[in-house]
Amino acid sequence: MNRRAKPFLPALVIVVLAVTVLPLAVAAGASSSLPARSVIPFLSADTAGGRSLDITADAGVTKQVVDRYFSPYRYGPTQIFYVLAEDAAMVRVQFPADSTDFRFSVTVYLFEDGTTADRIGQFVNNLHSDALYPDPPRPTSQTTIPASALVVLASDLTGHTVGSQGDEYDDYAVKFQVDAHVQPGLFSLAAFDSVVGVHVRTCDLEGCPG
């Protein structure tokens, strides 16, 4: 005698309920052993369509240090320009010349895809010189890295310089570090560090203080 197959409808209903109710319970705030970050994916520059900038690893990165200007003063602020041609980007590091706390700033400029290193160089030139180029490329974005990501690791006095106009400077070798930073939708900047010479003015054109 043939046995009738047991109905499978109740099992199907249980499965459907499990699939439907569990997500609703989680959405309503039900407790879960998974941490929040495993539910909400980390927003990286890659997932947001941004550019990955790595000064120490990217090919073709050029570095230019500027500390002299068209000025009667021997030295001015120290600036470092990193041009990342493959990413159509430029990273600017600035140290002022008026304090031994060596506070500095970092700005990331992005340009249109395909902007060449030479064209970005025109923009850089106009930032520190007498604006020789009338039509440099314009950045599509300009982002200041938070001060909390900028660290001075060490500073060593290396000498003293007297300018031709009577201005004087204490010369330092400053080691600094920039922590990784993600600007959603624009870029991710990998951490990097470097050493640069910074000239702190001790006497101006009118003489020395005190």
Structure tokens at 55: 């000064």
Q: Is the pLDDT of residue 38 over 60?
A: no
Provide the residue ranges of all domains of the chain, joining segments of one domain with +: 51-203
Element of type H or E holding 24: helix 9-27
Give the list of residues 6+ apart from residue 62 with CB closer than 8 angstroms, or none. Answer: 82, 83, 85, 117
Q: How far apart are CA 122 and CA 129, in angstroms?
A: 10
Q: How far apart are CA 38 and CA 47, in angstroms?
A: 16
Mean pLDDT computed over 54-72 = 94
> HEC states along 104-130?
CEEEEEECCCCCCHHHHHHHHHHHHCC
pLDDT averaged over every residue in the chain: 82
Mapping DSSP to helix (H, G, I), strand (E, B) and coil, where does residue 25 land?
A: helix
Mean pLDDT computed over 13-18 = 36
